Amino acid sequence: MALQIAPLIVPERRILIYLYLFVTGIILLHSLPALWHHGDQLVLLLSGGAFMILAAIFLALYARHHAALNGAVRLLIAFILGVVVAAVQFTRHDTPQIGRGITGQIEGSLVKIDGRADARSRLWLRLDTTAEIVSDGHFPAGGIVRVTTDEWQDQQRLGSKLAMRVRLYPPPTRVLAGVADYGRQARAQGVLASGYVISGLRPVADGGDRSGLDNFYLSLARYRAHFASYLVGLMNAPAGAIAAALLVGERRYINDELYKQFRDSGLAHLLAISGLHMGLICFGTMALIRFVGALFPAMSSRFPLHKYAAITAATIGACYVLMSGAPISAVRAFAMTLLVVLAILRDRMALTLRNVCLAAFVILAVNTMALFSAGFQLSFAATAILVIWYEARARRGASQFHWSLRYPVALITMSLLAAMATAPFAAQHFGVVTPWGVIANIIGIPLTGFWIMPMGMLFSVSAIFGIDWIVAPILAGGINILVFIAGIIAEYPFAGWPVAPPGYTALAVMVSGIILTQLFIKPIASIGWVVGIVGALLWTVRPVPDGALFAVGRTPRLVLAGPGVVATPYDNLSDFLA
């Protein structure tokens, strides 16, 4: 009898390989900086990539009866798609850029305001007409210019046309190796230049020649701004600011001190609309519909009530994403919600690692630059580790703990796993870790899930009927308790502990190790743990720079690490660079 050898790869986890190669293709293209100033090379790369994809498809059809060759071709297609999708994004935003700082007059429509409401605001202006900045150059119509000012806080003027005199600079290049390239991220968003307002900021007559889609987005932005300012005015500080962040994703009213408390305590993720909030709204809606249906069994037993409840929940989730301004964390959570709904409609298991990978494919196909953002990395790290834990727990059967202990045990376990999974990425982007985050989340997550978010939903509905003043004190009470907890834990020793960033090499090795643990069958999966430990060791041995040398014009500026993790500048260094 022939020896049967089991496959080494878990069949339902093969999508991990395709996602890994897709991401590798994106990273490869971003590692070729010489391409970003040569649009013809990008077009050539796109043409070559399209040709390779077509050739690979024809080869796959030819080799469809040869499993090994067919599989290799599909892997090649995933890699090439990553390269091509990344190139497409930059080709679409291949706009002219200035090469130096310039001063001039601009005029455009106000499409967005961010920054801190109690400090400087940053205005996003879409140029309606060709802006003649200097005699030897101009900005094309439709481009975005970002300028900061401390004179403009009126978000109700979103969509109006403004004119001003500004000082503009090109998108910055990468300052140090291994850090985020904000210039590329700005270019992907269609940003031509950034700077600050010098004088003459004033509204001008608006022709009102926007498209219907632009008017729709502006209406949503105005509603979001109005609702946020209404919350801040209705509730005492800082409850109104937190409510605005939770309900409509408007975080401008959260000052730096309050945000630092949430970050150091490990509760900052509650301020971003993510899977927790989407899950509470969508699946809370599903539970409510099924509960009401259970009260009328004769009627609800005649049709699949749970499927109608899932469709309703997805619709409400879509409205929530639009109201929040569609940040990456909310889009990722909604993509996962849609996959869960589709699984329910097809009577399949909803929470799987495969669905997490599909959500990542969708987001990266639309915006490859999301891969390098803190929101994407933190969000998917936490979601993936929790889904892996859920799948492993589902295979083991029912929990052995008493029913009264199941929720607190699960909450503690999830907090520990999420903290471990996000710690390297938080260290990379923010240079801190939060050792007390587990304790804070054990209190903060139930408080948010059972008090703050239900009251927030009730407040949103009651506002339609003008009786939100009844719910507002209850909502503010829960938020004040959350702020109190964040403030207490942020004062603990080692809260917001500064650490050296691991670097992208160590992060890639650690992520590869986790993927291998899920891709291979046991005991071969143990190789992944070895790879992950190697990545952690690379983090520990990575040297920390003693300082940085900036060149502002022809004058060098030196910044050295001082006592108490305070940067000490030598010579004259502007506040912006500091």
Q: How many CB atoms lie within 10 A of CB 565?
A: 9
Average pLDDT, stretch 222-229?
82
Residue 130 has pLDDT above 70, yes or no: no
Q: Domain residue spans in the chain?
A: 11-92, 102-210, 256-498, 504-538, 545-578
Q: Provide the angle, in degrees to the nearest 10, between the axes of the packed helices 275-294 and 374-396.
A: 40
Mean pLDDT of 454-460: 85
364-379 pLDDT, tens per residue?
888 888 888 887 888 8
Mean pLDDT over all residues of the chain?
77
Kindly report which listed range (31-40, 123-132, 289-298) carries the lowest average pLDDT score: 31-40
Burial 22-56 (b: 16+ CB within 10 A, else e): bbebbbebbeeeebbeeeeebeebbeebeebbeeb
DSSP label at 126? E
Burial of 9 (0-12, 13-18, 19+ CB in 10 A): middle
User: What CATH code is assigned to 102-210?
Assistant: 2.40.50
Please state the rounded mean pLDDT for residues 63-81: 70
The pTM for the full model equals 0.76
Lowest mean pLDDT among 95-104, 254-263, 465-474, 483-492: 95-104
- Mean pLDDT of the 321-338 span: 76
Given pLDDT bands bounded at 50, 70 and 90, which one contains residue 135?
Answer: very low
For the cut 50, the answer to whether the pLDDT of residue 37 exceeds it is: no
Least confident of 47-51, 162-166, 323-327, 477-481: 47-51
Residue 268: per-residue pLDDT: 84
| Percent of the chain with pLDDT strictly greater than 70 | 75
Cβ atoms within 10 Å, residue 527: 14
Question: What is the reported pLDDT for 129?
Answer: 59
Q: Residue 134: what pLDDT?
A: 46
With 50 as the cut, is the pLDDT of residue 36 above it? no
Does residue 65 register a pLDDT over 80?
no
Query: Distances in Å between the alpha carbon of 551 and those of 1, 66, 139, 402?
Result: 73, 58, 27, 63
Q: What is the pLDDT at residue 574?
A: 59
CB 445 within 8 A of CB 276: yes
> What is the distance of C-alpha 511 from the center of its chain?
18
pLDDT at 124 over 60: yes
pLDDT at 416: 83
Distances (CA, A) of 105 to 100, 149, 164, 197: 16, 15, 6, 10
Q: Is the pLDDT of residue 389 over 50?
A: yes
Of 274 and 551, the structure prediction assigns the larger pLDDT to 274
- Helix (H, G, I), strand (E, B), or coil: what is residue 22? helix
Statement: residue 5 has pLDDT above 50: no
Q: What tens digit of pLDDT does each residue of 464-491 get?
A: 888 888 888 999 999 999 999 998 998 8
Q: Report the alpha-carbon distance of residue 156 to residue 164 in Å, rounded.
A: 18
**Using omega within 30 degrees of 0 as the cis cutoff, is the peptide bond preceding 523 cis?**
yes
399-408 LR contacts (CB < 8 Å, sep 24+): 408/442
